[in-house]
Structure formats: C-alpha cells, structure tokens
Amino acid sequence: DTAVSQTPKYLVTQMGNDKSIKCEQNLGHDTMYWYKQDSKKFLKIMFSYNNKELIINETVPNRFSPKSPDKAHLNLHINSLELGDSAVYFCASSQLSSGIEQFFGPGTRLTVL
Amino acid sequence: SQQGEEDPQALSIQEGENATMNCSYKTSINNLQWYRQNSGRGLVHLILIRSNEREKHSGRLRVTLDTSKKSSSLLITASRAADTASYFCATDAGQGGKLIFGQGTELSVKP
C-alpha cells in the first residue's frame, strides 16, 4: 500500500538510449511532480501536473517529456540520454497544487554510462 | 545563489543533544516546509509553517520563521540515532506547487 511508487528503482543505461520512469500515487491527489536530485543532493523541480494538465515546466531540456495518462500517474520519458542526466529522480504528489505538503516516492537512481 | 540556503551543511552531535538547523531564502513565500531524507530514500515531510506564523511545534520538532530576515530554523530536541538524515527546507511561493529546496543539512547523531 505504498503511497507514491516509482519504477524502476535503479536504471543503468548507455548514453544515447531512451528510457522511461514510471510513477503512481494511490493517495487520490490532484497534483504530481518530478524532481531531480544531483550528486550534491541538490533537489530541483522539473515538472508538475494538475489533473493531467502541465502547470510547471522548468528549464529542462526537451529530451525530457512527462506524460500523465490519468491523475494517478505521471511518467517521465528521457530521449538521447547524456552523462549529465545521471541523478536520482523523485516523483511526488500533493492534494492541492500549493500550500500543502508533498509526498515523495522512493526515487529512481539513473546512471548513464 | 540558490533560494533556500541552509547551514550548517553538516552537523554531528551525541544522542540526547539538541540539533539546530537554519535556512535562509530570498523571495516572499506563502509557506516554508522542512523535509527529512534518510540515506537512499525519498523525502518525508516534517512540518509546514505559513508566512503568518512565527513558531510551530510537532513532537520533538520546533520550527521558527522570521519573514523580516527571510530565515527559518528547525530544532530537534533530545535527538536520537534514528534522527540521522539529511534535512531540507523548501519554500513555497504559491507558484503552482513549486518548492525551492535548500542544499540540506546532514545530521549525524551518534549513540
């Protein structure tokens, strides 16, 4: 009964490949997010969706494309992976789009070789 | 520099001692939140303090907010080895849920 789940937990791939990370929340929340945490633990928002609609799109290369098939799922697809994409990617969700706590998934550690 | 700067970057204390972490930010906020991250895990929400609040308590946690100085502090009293983790402050300026995180404080509590 995990609240926010992500798959896979670890992802090791070669430069130039395309990969996807999936996220699901069973909390009934309306808003979902993707964050990237670098090797220095700095955490930065990438995208957020509210009821399947994109509301935040930070300065992220267009190789990254989020997709929300329904409000319980927010997947992240990454094309043409680069070494600098290596990081831990966290999915999160919240009931409202602001002013409230966010619930984080366990993270996906992406390593690009 | 980034919004939400924290100090110290690392803190090592003995079990039973209090731990204080500070966070500074640059712009106006709706609220400020503190999160904990255990090694290799996701972030867990600890406490949220709104811009019109000055102090908030939750169990062994005490958070203060000074909007005039754009700073906040997190105090953990009577620390335990299980409190060992990274602690992050995050500011919410009401921009559609966008949280801006500090770089975190790594707390080590030795038994």
pLDDT digits 0-9 by tens, A32-80: 999 999 999 999 999 999 888 888 888 789 999 999 999 899 999 999 9
Stretches where chain B sits below pLDDT 70 are 1-4
Which residues of chain B are at the A interface, by a Cβ-Cβ cutoff of 8 Å?
Answer: 2, 30-31, 33, 35, 37, 40-45, 48, 50, 86, 88, 92, 94-101, 103-104
Q: What is the DSSP string of B24-53?
A: E-SS--SEEEEEEE-TTS-EEEEEEEETT-
What is the per-residue pLDDT for A100?
Answer: 83
What is the per-residue pLDDT for B56?
Answer: 97
Locate A70 and state its tokens: 């329904």
What is the per-residue pLDDT for A97?
Answer: 66
pLDDT digits 0-9 by tens, A15-38: 999 999 999 999 999 999 999 999
Locate A65 and state its tokens: 């494309």
Top residue of A5, A101, A103, A108 to mutate, by most chain B CBs within 10 Å, is: A101
Closest CA to A49 of A63, A34, A36, A27: A34
